[in-house]
């Protein structure tokens, strides 16, 4: 028997926990079972109480105090500890039936997704057939306000692609907080961000070349002047290379999410369901008597 889950990832403040909360509320309103797993040892407040919370296994505060680590080092320590105590996850998830959607809320430290091999190991453990056997979808959130700064948007898209390649599970990318850019960008323009369009850099208002017809020569710039280097041709070339990389792989495209709109949350859920083939695995459910009564009355 399979279990079903979604791992919600992305940089700090991208809206992961808010999305988890909206998703769980939506599942509950639609009489579906959700199981909320918090794997962020720094998370303090929750809209829905987690059914399984890494803080019950290890506390980031204790780790930082006892190991004399900062918040990022502390987080990595917590994840290494989790990997040594995977029984905790097995015990917490083992009894879940295939009706449940396991919603896993991840921390926002970007190094977790790009630098260290802990996450692929964790995903392999969760999905391993014959063990927990979770059919898992990764949902990578990027804040839609990033599209205002195109270099930031391409860097964010690259981190999404890096997570996709690293995790080897069905993956959806999401532009979150769409309500914040509503009315600020035309539909046609927005389309260019839904599937990253390299030409966005050519007509970027922040590009010094398009802005003032400048062509800063990086070699003649003062090497001690970081700003001159970063705003110059080298930064532009770096962004073009990143955009080219995204184009060559053609893996990244985004779904739009506005957590304040239930239809938007519903649309994302249907993508997740499709990715993990949730509905195909469900037994036909018998309706409770009171619901049959209601249907007959209608």
Per CB under 5 A, residues contacting Mg ion are 16-17
The per-type count for the chain, helices as H runs and strands as E runs, is 13, 7
Q: Choose between 16 and 150: whose C-beta lies nearer to ligand GTP.
A: 16
The reply on whether position 260 binds ligand GTP by CB under 6 A is yes
Please report whether residue 52 would count as binding ligand GTP according to CB under 6 A: no
* Two structure tokens written together for 290: 């009171």
Q: How big is the site for ligand GTP, counted in residues (CB under 6 A)?
A: 17
Smaller CB separation from ligand GTP, 105 or 204: 105
Of the pair 122, 141, the CB lying nearest Mg ion is at: 141
DSSP H or E run through 99 = none
* Chain centre distance of CA 238: 24
Contacting ligand GTP (CB under 6 A), which of 18, 127, 173, 236? 18
Give the contact letters, 101-140, x = binds to ligand GTP (CB under 6 A), - = no.
Answer: -------x--------------------------------
Which residue matches tokens 């260290």? 116
258 near ligand GTP, judged by CB under 6 A? yes
Interacting residues with ligand GTP between 141 and 170 (CB under 6 A):
none
The residue from 142, 259, 265, 269 that contacts ligand GTP (CB under 6 A) is 259
Residues 168-227 that bind ligand GTP (CB under 6 A): 176-177, 179-180
Closer to ligand GTP at the Cβ: 12 or 214? 12
Answer for the pair 90, 131: CB distance below 8 angstroms, yes or no.
yes
Cα→Cα distances 168→19, 165, 270, Å? 22, 6, 20
Identify what 12 binds: ligand GTP, Mg ion, none; CB under 5 to 8 Å per kind: ligand GTP
Strand partners, 98: none
Look at residue 180 and give the partner it binds from Mg ion, ligand GTP, none, a contact being a CB closer than 5 to 8 Å depending on partner kind: ligand GTP
Tally the residues of the chain: 298
CB of 252 to ligand GTP, least distance (A): 19
Chain-centre distance of CA 100, in angstroms? 20
Select the binding partner of residue 99 from ligand GTP, Mg ion, none (C-beta < 5 to 8 A, by kind). Answer: none
- Residue 138 three-state SS: strand
Residue 37's H or E segment, with its range, is: strand 34-38
Binding to ligand GTP by residue 40, rule CB under 6 A? yes
Q: How far is the CB of 143 from Mg ion (least distance, A)?
A: 13
CB-side exposure of 281: number of CA atoms within 13 Å? 17
| Pairing relationship of beta strands 101-105 and 3-9 according to DSSP bridges | parallel
Phi, psi of 279 (to 5 degrees): -65, -35
Token couple for 117: 């091999």
In a 13 Å sphere around the CA of 250, the CA atoms on its Cβ side amount to 1
> Which residues, in sequence order, are bridge partners of residue 5?
102, 136
Q: Is 15 in the site for ligand GTP (CB under 6 A)?
A: yes
Contact footprint for ligand GTP (CB under 6 A) = 10, 12-18, 40, 108, 176-177, 179-180, 258-260
């Amino acid at each position: 028997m399979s279990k079903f889950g979604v791992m919600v990832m992305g940089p700090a403040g991208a809206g992961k926990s808010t999305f988890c909360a909206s998703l769980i509320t939506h599942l509950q309103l639609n009489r579906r079972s959700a199981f909320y797993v918090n794997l962020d040892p720094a998370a303090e407040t929750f809209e829905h109480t987690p059914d399984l919370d890494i803080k019950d296994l290890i506390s980031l505060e204790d780790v930082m105090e006892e190991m004399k680590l900062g918040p990022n080092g502390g987080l990595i320590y917590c994840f290494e500890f989790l990997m040594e105590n995977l029984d905790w996850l097995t015990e917490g998830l083992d009894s879940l039936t295939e009706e449940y959607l396991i919603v896993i809320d991840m921390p926002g430290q970007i190094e977790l997704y790009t630098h260290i091999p802990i996450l692929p190991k964790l995903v392999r453990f969760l999905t391993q057939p014959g063990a927990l056997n979770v059919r898992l979808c990764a949902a990578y959130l990027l804040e839609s306000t990033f599209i205002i700064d195109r270099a930031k948007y391409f860097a964010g898209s690259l981190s999404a692609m890096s997570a996709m390649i690293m995790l080897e599970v069905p993956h959806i990318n999401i532009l979150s907080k769409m309500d914040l850019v509503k009315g600020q960008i035309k539909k046609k323009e927005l389309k260019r961000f839904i599937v990253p369009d390299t030409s966005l850099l050519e007509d970027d208002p922040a590009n010094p070349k398009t802005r003032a017809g400048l062509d800063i020569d990086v070699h003649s710039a003062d090497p001690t002047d970081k700003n001159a280097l970063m705003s110059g041709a080298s930064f532009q070339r770096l962004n073009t290379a990143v955009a080219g990389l995204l184009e060559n792989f053609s893996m990244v495209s985004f779904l739009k999410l506005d957590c304040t709109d239930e239809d938007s949350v519903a649309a994302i859920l249907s993508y997740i369901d499709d990715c993990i083939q949730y509905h195909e695995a469900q037994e036909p459910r018998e309706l409770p008597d009171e619901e049959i009564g209601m249907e007959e009355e209608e």
